[in-house]
Amino acid sequence: MLTAKEIRESFKNFFASKGHQIVPSAPMVIKDDPTLMFTNAGMNQFKDIILGNVDPRYKRVADSQKCLRVSGKHNDLEEVGLDTYHHTMFEMLGNWSFGDYFKKEAIDWAWEYLVDVLKLDPERLYATVFEGYEPEGLERDNEAAIYWEKHLPASHIINGNRHDNFWEMGDTGPCGPCSEIHIDLRSEKERAEVDGLTLVNASHPQVIEIWNLVFMQYNRKADATLEPLPARVIDTGMGFERLCMALQGKTSNYDTDVFQPLIGAIANLSNKKYGDDNSSDIAMRVIADHVRTIAFSITDGQLPSNAKAGYVIRRILRRAVRYGYTFLGQHSAFIYKLIPTLIDTMGDAYPELVSQKELIEKVIKEEEESFLRTLETGMKLLDKVIEDARTGGKKKISGKDAFTLYDTYGFPLDLTELILKENDLSADLDEFDSLMRQQKERARNAAAVETGDWVTLKEGTTEFVGYDYTEYEVSLLRYRQIKQKNQTLYQLVLDKTPFYAESGGQVGDTGVIVSEFETIDVIDTRKENNLPVHIVKQLPKHLEVPMMACVDTDKRAACAANHSATHLIDEALREVLGEHVEQKGSLVTPDSLRFDFSHFQKVTPEEIRKVEHLVNARIRENIPLTEYRNIPIAEARELGAIALFGEKYGEEVRVIRFGSSVEFCGGTHVKATGNIGMMKIVSESSVAAGVRRIEAITGAKVEELLDSAQDTMNELRGLFNNAPDLNSVIRKHIEENAGLKKQIEEFLKEKEAVLKERLLKNMQEINGINVIKLNCPMPSDLVKNIAFQLRGEITENLAFVAGTYDAGKPLLTVMLSDNLVASGLNASAIVREAAKLIQGGGGGQPHFAQAGGKNVEGVIAAVGKMIELVTK
């Protein structure tokens, strides 16, 4: 029996023997594409070639690509674990032809590989072909059918509709018919009973699609019409885990050697046996699947977080925790304990799992623990909702409550429903669905971008000249309109450009495009499938004239300083904190830089100082830049360049070196470190478990910071009469102040005692009530103290009424003894009534109440009013 590893190798060997270049998998997490968060198919990394933005280096390519299908167009998350052949993360084996071979070879080789090389039983194979689509004038894909007929009887070739058998990249762009290969893995007996043909595309777990061959031959335009594609493309994708299942004679992907060790480890940890119980089996599959996804996304640089891609990863982890909690009785963190097993099975092929083991475990453990706490809180909330429904005699809880549980506490609807059912309740599903729809709608509207067709003036692609020039004579190749959030913008593609397009954490250049007739502002430069596009608010009136593209050089220089400083900081951090420091993210703007890296505790102020000193020393050394452009990766490694896992690099790379700092980098840099001027770290914080963030500034920004610090200092000195030793003067002031405060407190206490005596002496009896009246300036807490003291001394028939003022603000106070309260008086009502006279309001308890106001003049009248109210 072939092992998973042997199967992966055999695929690569087969296509290498057919003249294909074998390339590495691109990272699963996509950093520079606004339309896609994760790689969801083998073709993603070749999108720029398929769109014609860059020329293919090889016309035939094959690989095994890590894919993730948990968001957007491909989202299999809810199926995973419930079925046995959809994963969140899986490997897709694929072969490509860029303008080289087409349908015949694609079909013949797929057959040769599956049947001649791997010896799959041809009687168990079926192929689908596109049946055509009248409204668009598309005929059946007879060409593909003819090639299949060489290998398969007509009864194994099935027509498929537009939905299943016509592939499109998006609303616009390359598209074409596809042909899927399905396999029937049922037993001989079952096959004799029911014809496999009837089960293709019928969601039968053992009659499944394994390989999809896409034949891109059209381009879909924005008006939805189709035109022929100049260079036709073959794009195939085969599910590696499904192929392993077929070859290893299993009926579930989870029974293959890809997943068995993980399933075994989960069974061990939870003291359950896989195969004993449907719910716990599902839970084990969910966890075995999800732990791979989370570990790989962490090594690719995407940690769980509360936004975007990070949130998707967090939700996947939570789904695993929740299944473990509910069905395997795991009430404390345990998923992180599976990492050693994952490394045993995949560490060879993916060494980043080994080198980042500690980080992966730490992040997962912390996420698990924090979610388990949320889960407990959610359980309590649900208990309360159930309790309320019961006491209210209801049979249903609101959809809103179910949605809150889903949205805030990560309770999937099925879990909530399960618990409700145990309590003879259900949820309002219509309301839940509508809330869910609204949320999706909101997300979609926020991200919606409408793009027009490209208008091509001249064929060609862009040459980037921005490493050497910040101004260049250019001409316009094509442009298009985009609409986003009610704003109309244009994207321009130039034949050459000095503008750096946002990538590798460095923001895009801004500047102007100038012609004889006009000047157009470039507000941003971004990459779209590797093509630099210049974003402008208005289209040039004259499109086909020579233009000068001019980068805003001040901003560029500030960016370059921050980018070079980032490299020096990276190196210094490793020297000060240790070799475990690894970049986890970075942002370089003209104003500042941000650098995220793996490290397990707070960076101390002393360590920060050390890093600053090291970097600033290297800045003063004025180390010149050595730049290596277009060198092979191997050579870059020999130079000692630090490669980041999860960064996608072409086969040739650029290396940036300042002395001992050597990094793979496509960004713009200073000519020598002296140009950075100076670097200052302004903050250090935590971004996630095991990941710290440093923010820093350079050059003129440091000057600004020093200036403002100096100004504050000078102002302080001025306040203290320019004392030479500010430190001891301020200390003295603080001590004196504390002493004075104490004295005042003592004075006040004495005053309180004297005042109380005086008040008692002036007590008046009106209608059998002992009225004590106060009317003078006084701090508010003193009034309160006195009120309570008087109440302690005179327990019967006491009414203390006060109208005081403090810093121009009037305050009314009423304190009553309990017997007066019992007889019906209410301090709160009295104070509120009297407060009208000082334009204020307040309240309190029946025995004690206070009210503030605006009108000091009204205090005397208010006191009169309060006396009237307590004695009447």
Annotated binding site for Zn(2+): 563, 567, 665, 669
Query: 744 exposed, middle or buried (CB, 10 Å; 0-12, 13-18, 19+)?
Result: exposed
Q: Is 8 in the site for ligand ATP (CB under 6 A)?
A: no
Q: Is 207 in the site for ligand ATP (CB under 6 A)?
A: no
723 to 76, 334, 701, 706, 712: CA distances (angstroms): 71, 61, 29, 21, 15
356 to 133, 266, 575: CA distances (angstroms): 50, 22, 19
Q: Judged by CB under 6 A, which stretch of 135-143, 233-241, 273-281, 648-656 contacts ligand ATP?
A: 233-241
Euclidean distance between CA atoms 850 and 831, whole angstroms: 6
Q: Using the rule CB under 6 A, which residue among 92, 185, 245, 303 binds ligand ATP?
A: 92
Q: Is 90 in the site for ligand ATP (CB under 6 A)?
A: yes
Q: Using the rule CB under 6 A, which residue among 241, 570, 596, 612 binds ligand ATP?
A: 241
Euclidean distance between CA atoms 739 and 430, whole angstroms: 68
Euclidean distance between CA atoms 370 and 619, whole angstroms: 42
Q: Is 81 in the site for ligand ATP (CB under 6 A)?
A: no
Query: Binding pattern to ligand ATP, positions 523-542, x when CB under 6 A?
Result: --------------------
Task: Name which of residues 779 to 818 contact ligand ATP (CB under 6 A).
Answer: none
Shortest reach from residue 97's CB to ligand ATP, in Å: 17
Q: Interior CA angle at 795 toward 794 and 796, to 5°?
A: 100
Q: Is 25 in the site for ligand ATP (CB under 6 A)?
A: no
Q: Is 238 in the site for ligand ATP (CB under 6 A)?
A: yes
Q: Is 364 in the site for ligand ATP (CB under 6 A)?
A: no
Which is closer to ligand ATP, CB of 235 or CB of 596? 235
- 295 with 340: CB under 8 angstroms? no
Q: Is 212 in the site for ligand ATP (CB under 6 A)?
A: yes
Q: Judged by CB under 6 A, which stretch of 138-146, 206-214, 535-543, 586-594 contacts ligand ATP?
A: 206-214
Binding site, residues? Answer: 563, 567, 665, 669
Q: Is 210 in the site for ligand ATP (CB under 6 A)?
A: yes
Q: Is 693 in the site for ligand ATP (CB under 6 A)?
A: no
Query: Binding pattern to ligand ATP, positions 121-140, x when CB under 6 A?
Result: --------------------
Q: Using the rule CB under 6 A, which residue among 211, 218, 327, 490 binds ligand ATP?
A: 211
Query: 522 exposed, middle or buried (CB, 10 Å; 0-12, 13-18, 19+)?
Result: buried
Which is closer to ligand ATP, CB of 239 or CB of 498? 239
Q: Which H, E and C letters describe 533-578, residue by residue?
A: EEEECCCCCCCCCCEEEEECHHHHHHHHHHHHHHHHHHHHHHHHHC
Identify which of 102, 110, 105, 101 has the alpha carbon closest to the alpha carbon of residue 128: 110
Written as six digits, the tokens of 422 are 């145990």
Shortest reach from residue 311's CB to ligand ATP, in Å: 20
Shortest reach from residue 187's CB to ligand ATP, in Å: 21
Q: Using the rule CB under 6 A, which residue among 242, 285, 693, 701 binds ligand ATP?
A: 242
Listed in sequence order, the residues at least 6 apart from 305 whose beta carbon sits closer than 8 Å to its beta carbon are 311, 313, 314, 687, 688
- 85 with 210: CB under 8 angstroms? no
Helix 699-719, helix 726-761: angle, nearest 10: 50
Which is closer to ligand ATP, CB of 211 or CB of 215? 211
Q: Using the rule CB under 6 A, which residue among 32, 76, 112, 752 binds ligand ATP?
A: 76
Shortest reach from residue 87's CB to ligand ATP, in Å: 4
Shortest reach from residue 317's CB to ligand ATP, in Å: 18
| C-alpha dihedral, 112 to 113 to 116 to 119, nearest 10° | -140
Q: Which residue is nearest to ligand ATP (CB)?
A: 239
Shortest reach from residue 241's CB to ligand ATP, in Å: 6
Euclidean distance between CA atoms 769 and 457, whole angstroms: 98
| C-alpha dihedral, 163 to 169 to 172 to 176, nearest 10° | -60
Give one DSSP letter per residue of 179-212, joined into a string.
EEEEEE-S-HHHHHHS-GGGGTTTT-TTEEEEEE
Shortest reach from residue 322's CB to ligand ATP, in Å: 20
Q: Is 209 in the site for ligand ATP (CB under 6 A)?
A: yes
In total, the chain counts a number of residues equal to: 872
Shortest reach from residue 346's CB to ligand ATP, in Å: 16
Euclidean distance between CA atoms 264 and 554, whole angstroms: 59
Shortest reach from residue 358's CB to ligand ATP, in Å: 29
Residues that bind ligand ATP (CB under 6 A): 69, 76, 86-87, 90, 92, 209-212, 237-239, 241-242
